Amino acid sequence: MENFDIAMGIVRVTEAATLSCSRLLGKGNMDQVDGAAVEGVRFAFELLPIKGRVVIGECAINKSPIMYIGEKVGQWGDGQKEYDIAIDPLDGSILVAKGRPNAISAIAVAEKGNIFRAPQIYMNKIAVGPKAKGAIDINADLYTNVKNVAEALNKDIEDITIMIQDRKRHEELIKEARKIGVRVKVFGEGDIAAALAPAFEDTGIDMLVGIGGAPEGVLAAAALKCLGGEIQGKLLPNDEEQIAMCLRAGVEDINKTLTADDLIHGDDVYFAATAITDSDVLKGVTYKGDVAYTHSVVMRYKTGIIRFVDATHKLKKSMIHINNNFSI
């Protein structure tokens, strides 16, 4: 299969997840939106001529309708190449259930063995775009990071804008950021979309800081690697069992600073995302009559190509239809 087709193939996966769940926007049912996104993903993967194996999913065991770790996706035809798949069919289920911004469907693909099997635990993260690459250190305090990023971006500290997830665990961090004098953009859910934002200058966002899911950190790392930005992460196991999960994932030093290359190795790395609801980088899906409009970004590390894909889906005619009455 041509590489270009992998990029386009994975956009179809995130588009399918988006189309499948987005008509359930605001209906208050998280399980339903999650299930719909997963059905869209599975449907679109059937069209992909690869041997894909989910290494980052939503669950370690097969609890349909969840994308589980170890799940085989793609056609698994003779001669097809094997790939690791990291997938979040819907990052921010509650956002779709409640009709709030920042929900995306995201996927990362790398050659077999090249995606860090992140355990389902928290990770401390710091991320910036290409111009601030080299200016961050997750082991330094917030002020030092802000100062260095401001210098790299040739901005005043007061003009630096930071994304922080609205969580109790971040109360001190938010207080500290306000004391330093930066602009703080607090978001509810969806830290993959938030991590992408600093890599696109016109979002006006300079950094993401704070604690979110480790699997989401891997997906963000794939994107930032392709975009030339930087992410650093530290796993945060909170008990013996979570430490054991880290060890099983091959992390012997829990304190290790994980870089994008630690989280997703090699050159053959792809990332795609489609917005379900509006985010800083991508506009969410809209409907007009029987037509749906989706907005996606797809990128490949090896070539450095970043494509924005705006698609028009004639729902009666072609793509994923609502409520999992699929046709293509």
Ligand X SMILES: O=P(O)(O)OC[C@H]1O[C@](O)(COP(=O)(O)O)[C@@H](O)[C@@H]1O
**Out of 9, 52, 92, 101, which residue is the one contacting ligand X (CB under 6 A)?**
92
Residue from 71, 84, 189, 230 in contact with ligand X (CB under 6 A): 189
User: Which one, 279 or 313, has the nearer CB to ligand X?
Assistant: 279
Q: In this structure, are residues 22 and 105 in contact, taking their beta carbons and an 8 Å threshold?
A: no
34 annotated ligand-binding residue: yes
Nearer to ligand X (CB atom), residue 74 or residue 212: 212
To the nearest whole angstrom, how small is the minimum distance from the Cβ of residue 189 to ligand X? Answer: 3
65 close to 38: Cβ distance less than 8 angstroms: yes
User: Rule CB under 6 A: is residue 185 a binding residue for ligand X?
Assistant: no
Q: Mask: binding to ligand X, 6-25, rule CB under 6 A, as x and -?
A: --------------------
Using the rule CB under 6 A, give the single segment among 46-54, 64-72, 88-96, 133-141 that binds ligand X: 88-96
Identified binder of ligand X from the candidate list 93, 145, 242, 274, rule CB under 6 A: 93
| Euclidean distance between CA atoms 7 and 216, whole angstroms | 20
Query: How big is the site for ligand X, counted in residues (CB under 6 A)?
Result: 11
Q: Which residue is nearest to ligand X (CB)?
A: 212
Q: Which of residues 141-180 bind ligand X (CB under 6 A)?
A: 167
If the CB atoms of residues 56 and 298 are measured against ligand X, the closer one turns out to be 56
CB atoms within 10 A of CB 59: 14
CB crowding 193-206: b at 16 or more within 10 Å, else e: bbbbbbbbeebebb
| Window contacting ligand X (CB under 6 A); options: 37-45, 190-198, 224-232, 263-271 | 190-198
Alpha-carbon span 322 to 304, nearest angstrom:
34
Distance of alpha carbon 174 from alpha carbon 169, whole angstroms:
10
Q: Amino acid identity of 77?
A: G
Report the helix count and the strand count for the chain, using DSSP H and E: 9, 14
232 beta partners? 126, 259
β 161-165/104-111 pair status:
unpaired
Which residue is it, tokens 């409520």? 323
Window 231-270: contact mask with ligand X (x via CB under 6 A): ----------------------------------------
Only segment of 18-26, 87-95, 156-164, 261-269 that touches ligand X (CB under 6 A) = 87-95
The response to whether 91 counts as a known ligand-binding position is yes
**Residue from 198, 210, 212, 237 that binds ligand X (CB under 6 A)?**
212
**Which CB, 15 or 216, lies closer to ligand X?**
216
* 198 prior amide bond cis, ω within 30: no
Choice from 213, 229, 233, 284 touching ligand X (CB under 6 A) = 213
CB within 8 Å of 164: residues ≥ 6 apart: 170, 173, 174, 177, 184, 185, 186, 187, 208, 209, 210
Q: Is 191 in the site for ligand X (CB under 6 A)?
A: yes
With binding defined as CB under 6 A, does residue 74 bind ligand X? no
Judging by DSSP bridges, how do beta strands 51-56 and 82-91 pair with one another? parallel
Residue 58 among known ligand-binding residues: yes
> 23: which 2 tokens?
């008509």
Site for ligand X, rule CB under 6 A: 91-93, 167, 189-192, 212-213, 216
Binding residues for Mn(2+): 34, 58, 88, 91, 216
